[in-house]
Structure formats: structure tokens, C-alpha cells
Structure 1
Amino acid sequence: MKYVFVYGTLRPGQKYHHLIEKFVEKTIPAFVKGRLYHLREGYPALLLERDLSSSVEIVPVRGDLLGFTELDPVLPILDELEDYFGPRDPRNMYERVTTLAITSDQSAISSTVYVFSGEKLDWLERNAVPIPTGDWVLGNS
């Protein structure tokens, strides 16, 4: 099984989940460590712990691990939605990276996730609203 960690509009019941729903084989609640922001455009941005300075508060960012048999049919859909053009491409809104997501039984599962780069921290601090609970869905319901 291959996993994608989703934390906003791609989570089950949210605005864009329908785009990939038919490919999802399994859904597991999980979290990653980082900092979550709400953008004015109506969706979240995540910075992972590894991309943050020690002065930034790190929280468990809640989301779901979506399990897929294959990522080949899913990644093009996600790449388009997330404005991802390739590794470190200057046109990228998000970067596609691999990280460990932690499940309720403390299992660490390798997953793909779309994140903002640490280089965008200052911009996020000025233009987005931090979500201290780490749960975008609860913060926007």
C-alpha cells in the first residue's frame, strides 16, 4: 500500500476529496509534526518540522493517510490541484515530499505529502493565519 497524507481539502468529506475518492483503498487518521496555516484563498498550507526554525511552535498536524494500491493514477491529479510542476520548480505552490505520519497506535508510516517549503515561512507569517490546534477541518467547520 502506498500512502498520501492529506490535511485539508483532500480529506474525506472535504471539497476536493471526490477527485481521488475512487482510488482510495484505506483511510487512517494520523498526524505529522509541523505548523499549519489557513490561507485567504480557503485552503491550508503545511510546513513540516524539518523545515522550521527552533523558534517556531511545532504541533501535531492532524489529517488522514489515504492508502492506494498505486500512486500512478493519483499523483497527476494531486500535482495539478496542488500546483506542483516538479522538484523545486519555481512555479510550485506546494512541494511534493516524503515524510513519516504517525497513527493512533504510534506506527510511523512513510507517505507522500504536499507542503510549503521552509523558505515561505516569512510569507506565511505575514499573509496566513496559523492554526494552533493543527486541525484545519475543525478550525474551518
Structure 2
Amino acid sequence: MATIFVYGTLLEGCRNYDRLLKGRVRSIQTAYVKGTLYSLKGVDFPALVDGDSFIRGEQMEVADDVLPLLDELEGYRGENDPMNMYHKVWMDIYDEDRIRQIKLPVYVYNIDRPDQRDALDTIITEQDYRQWLKHRFG
């Protein structure tokens, strides 16, 4: 088993959770990471970049065999690869009281690629992808 942090379409009940994680998760708990969450132009998944807001997500214990599937989904080709869609960065994970608990790898949007920087749309002010979906799509 491996522990991961997710904040977008891999959240429980969202489309990529159902496709890749359902039935392969031992535990889920609400957790937070510091950053800024953006919507992206023309797609229905978010981008986490550097920032100081607490972004709501989930810490999950998952089967090891899903890790390569997540790398593929996130366009992660390897450490510091300039063509990564998302880099995997070790970040502090916080509990619901905003107390630092653990460091986990988190997929952070690669804004060093000009095409990706241009795809940033608006800040998700809810700091919670699920809440943003509710407000946007009802």
C-alpha cells in the first residue's frame, strides 16, 4: 500500500476516482496542502501551483499497482522532466485543523512550460475542487 494526496478528479466520487481508484483504496481522510488551485482552459481538471492557501483534498491509502496509472494520468514522465504536465513534488500535508502531519508526493502543475502557463484560467476561490464543480455545474 502507498499513501497519496489528491485534490482534483481523483477525489472520491469524481470521474478518475471511479475509473482508477475505486476498489483499490484502503482508507480516505480529508487533508490539505498549501498552494493555489486554478481551473484550466478547455478541460475539466484543476491545476495546483505554488501558493499559501489551504487546498482541500484527500489523503488515501491505495494499492501500489495504481501508482504507475496515476503517473500516466498526470502526464508525469519522470523527475524534473521539462515535458511533464504535472511534476511530483514532496509537500507538507495538513489535517483539518491545519496542523502539518506528513510529507507526500503531490502532482503540481508544470507552469514552466509556456503552453501550460497559458492554459491557466481562473483561481478556484473555493480552494476545493468538489465545491467548485458544484458551483459551476450545479
Which residue number corresponds to residue 27 of structure 1?
A: 28
Counterpart in the other structure of 1:14: 14
Shift of 1:81: 0.6
Is 1:83 equivalent to 2:75 in the alignment? yes
CA–CA separation in structure 1 for the residues paired with 2:25 and 2:45: 21
TM-score by length of 2: 0.82
In the TM superposition, residue 48 of structure 1 has moved relative to its aligned partner by 3.3
State whether structure 2 residue 49 is matched by structure 1 residue 47: yes
Show the 5 A alignment for 1:33-112: 33-40=34-41, 41-49=43-51, 58-68=52-62, 70-71=63-64, 73-105=65-97, 106-112=99-105
Which amino acid is 2:106 matched to?
V
Which consecutive unaligned segments of at least 5 residues does structure 2 have?
A: none
**What is residue 129 of structure 1 aligned with on the other side?**
122
SS at match of 1:63: strand
Aligned-residue Cα RMSD (Å) equals 2.3
- The higher relative CO (CA closer than 8 Å, separation ≥ 6) is in 1
Counterpart contact for 2:34–2:53, Cα < 8 Å: yes
- Which residue of 2 is the match for residue 53 of structure 1? none
Q: Tell me the amino acid that sits aligned with residue 48 of structure 1.
A: D
The one-letter amino acid of 1:36's match is L
* Cα distance in 2 between the residues matched to 1:119 and 1:9: 23
Q: For structure 1, which runs of at least 5 residues remain unmatched after alignment?
A: 50-57
Between the two proteins, what is the percent identity of the paired residues? 35
SS in 2 for 1:114: strand
- Aligned twin of 2:2: 2
Is the 1:2–1:111 Cα contact (8 Å) retained in structure 2?
Answer: no
CA–CA distance in 1 between the matches of 2:22 and 2:108?
21
Q: Taking structure 1 as reference, are residues 119 and 90 closer, same or farther at Cα in structure 2, changes over 3 Å only?
A: closer
Residue number among 102, 108, 116 corresponding to 1:115 in the alignment? 108
Higher strand residue share: 2
Do 1:59 and 1:133's aligned partners in 2 also have CA atoms closer than 8 Å?
no
State the AA in 1 paired with 2:49. L
- 2: CA distance between counterparts of 1:111 and 1:59? 17
TM-score for the superposition, normalised by structure 1? 0.81
